């Protein structure tokens, strides 16, 4: 149990640093802003208490906000995403529930399950984030395109990083 906590704390810092020091500086065009850091919320263990989930999401969002100068926008998107997570997990739950001690990752539940689960959460997060950023309906369609394209890139990064993690686990 404490092992999981330590691993998650390390993962938190690694993802925040990767996001603000590397991904923030990679320019892929105006429509593509991937946000890999939400991987942290996606693969928290199943048995994370719901209240803790919300607080973690809030702290993660505020931390990213500090670096992106967006006071509260990332936090709002993350909290909403964390709120939706239990419902989406329930929606995609296997017939006999999730195994205790596992995490919602490709390794345990396979790629089709993970793509639909992570995809919904990522689109939700990006949707809230980009519309909060623009804060008006004038540029609705260009913002929508931005949500979709950025979501695809985030999902791609999330899946790639999953495979990196997985290989490490097999070696252990």
Partner 1 sequence: MRNLAVFIAKNYFFFLFLFLETFCIYLIVQNNRFQRASFINSSNQVSATVLSTSANIQQYFYLKSENERLAKENADLHSHDQLAFSILINDTYTSGDTTYRKKYVYTSAKVVNNSTNLRNNFITLDKGSKQGIKKNMAVISSSGVVGHTQNVSENFCTVMSLLNSKTTISAKLKKDGSFGPLNWDGENFAYASLNDIPTHVKLLKGDSVVTSQNSTMFPENIMIGTVDSYYMESSKPFYTVKVLLSTDFKKLTHVYIIENKLREEQEALEIKTEAENKD
Q: Which of 5, 9, 10, 71 is in the footprint of partner 1 by CB under 8 A? A: 71
Residue closest to 15 by CA, chosen among 50, 42, 52: 42
Q: Which of residues 51-70 bind partner 1 (CB under 8 A)?
A: 51, 54-55, 58, 61-62, 65-69
Shortest Å, Cβ 66 to partner 1: 4
Residue 20 binding partner 1, by CB under 8 A: yes
Q: Which long-range contacts (CB under 8 A, 24 or more apart) does 112-121 make?
A: 114/159, 114/162, 115/155, 115/159, 116/92, 117/42, 117/88, 117/89, 117/92, 118/42, 118/155, 118/158, 118/159, 119/151, 119/155, 120/84, 120/88, 121/38, 121/41, 121/42, 121/81, 121/84, 121/85, 121/88
Shortest Å, Cβ 123 to partner 1: 18
Shortest Å, Cβ 141 to partner 1: 13
Residue 47 binding partner 1, by CB under 8 A: no
Residue 76 binding partner 1, by CB under 8 A: yes
Q: Binding residues for partner 1, per CB under 8 A?
A: 20-21, 24-25, 27-30, 32-33, 50-51, 54-55, 58, 61-62, 65-69, 71-73, 75-76, 79-80, 82-83, 86, 132-135, 139, 142
């Amino acid at each position: 149990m404490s092992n999981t906590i330590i691993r998650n704390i390390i993962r938190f810092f690694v993802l925040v640093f990767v996001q603000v020091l590397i991904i923030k500086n990679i320019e892929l065009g105006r429509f593509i802003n991937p946000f890999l850091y939400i991987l942290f919320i996606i693969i928290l263990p199943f048995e994370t208490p719901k209240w803790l989930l919300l607080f973690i999401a809030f702290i993660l969002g505020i931390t990213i906000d500090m670096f992106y100068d967006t006071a509260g926008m990332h936090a709002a998107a993350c909290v909403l995403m964390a709120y939706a997570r239990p419902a989406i997990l329930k929606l995609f739950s296997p017939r006999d529930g999730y195994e205790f001690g596992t995490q919602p990752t490709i390794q345990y539940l396979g790629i089709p399950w993970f793509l639909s689960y992570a995809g919904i959460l990522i689109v939700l997060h990006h949707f809230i984030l980009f519309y909060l950023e623009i804060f008006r309906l004038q540029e609705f369609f260009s913002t929508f395109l931005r949500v979709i394209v950025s979501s695809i890139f985030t999902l791609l990064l999330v899946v790639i990083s999953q495979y990196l993690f997985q290989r490490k686990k097999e070696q252990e």
